[in-house]
Amino acid sequence: MKALVYSKNIGNGKPSDFGKVKDVCPFCDYKDVENIIEQKGEVIWTENKYPVLNKTHQTLIIETGHHENHLGNYAPEYAQEMLKFAFHAWDEMKKSNEYNSVIFYKNHGPMSGGTLSHAHMQIIGLKENNAYEYIRTQHFVGVPIIREELVQVNYSTQPFCGLRETNIIVEKENLDEAFPRFTQIIQTVFQHHLDKLIYSFNLFFYDFEGKIIVKFVPRYPTPPYFVGFGIPQVLDETTLIEDAQELAGKLC
pLDDT at position 201: 95
The letter for the amino acid at 164 is R
pLDDT at position 21: 56
pLDDT at position 149: 96
Phi and psi at 94, nearest 5°, equal -65, -40
**Of the candidates 99, 71, 103, which has an alpha carbon nearest to the alpha carbon of residue 208?**
103
**Contact in structure between 155 and 164 (CB atoms under 8 Å):** yes
Cα distance between residue 83 and residue 87, in whole Å: 6
Cα distance between residue 86 and residue 92, in whole Å: 10
pLDDT-derived band at 241 (thresholds 50, 70, 90) equals very high
**Of the candidates 161, 163, 131, which has an alpha carbon nearest to the alpha carbon of residue 227?**
161
Which residues are within 8 A (CB) of 57 and not within 5 positions of it... i.e. 6 or more apart? 51, 93, 98, 99, 124, 125, 127
Do the two domains 8-126 and 137-251 of this chain adopt the same fold?
yes
**Of the candidates 175, 121, 127, which has an alpha carbon nearest to the alpha carbon of residue 151?**
175
Per residue in 148-175, pLDDT (tens digit) is 999 999 999 999 988 899 999 999 999 9
Kindly tell me if the per-residue pLDDT of 20 is higher than 60. Answer: no
Cα distance between residue 2 and residue 15, in whole Å: 28
Average pLDDT (51-66) is 95
Cα distance between residue 107 and residue 71, in whole Å: 11
Q: Which of these ranges, 23-37, 98-112, 206-220, has the smallest mean pLDDT?
A: 23-37
Average pLDDT (224-245) is 91
**Contact in structure between 67 and 118 (CB atoms under 8 Å):** yes
Cα distance between residue 126 and residue 57, in whole Å: 7
**What does the domain layout of the chain look like in residue ranges?**
8-126, 137-251
CATH superfamily placement of domain 8-126: HIT-like (3.30.428.10)
- Mean pLDDT in the chain? 93
Average pLDDT (193-210) is 96
The third-level CATH classification (topology) of the domain covering 137-251 is HIT family, subunit A (3.30.428)
Kindly tell me if the per-residue pLDDT of 2 is higher than 80. Answer: no
pLDDT-derived band at 19 (thresholds 50, 70, 90) equals low
Per residue in 86-112, pLDDT (tens digit) is 999 999 999 999 999 999 999 999 999
pLDDT at position 17: 78
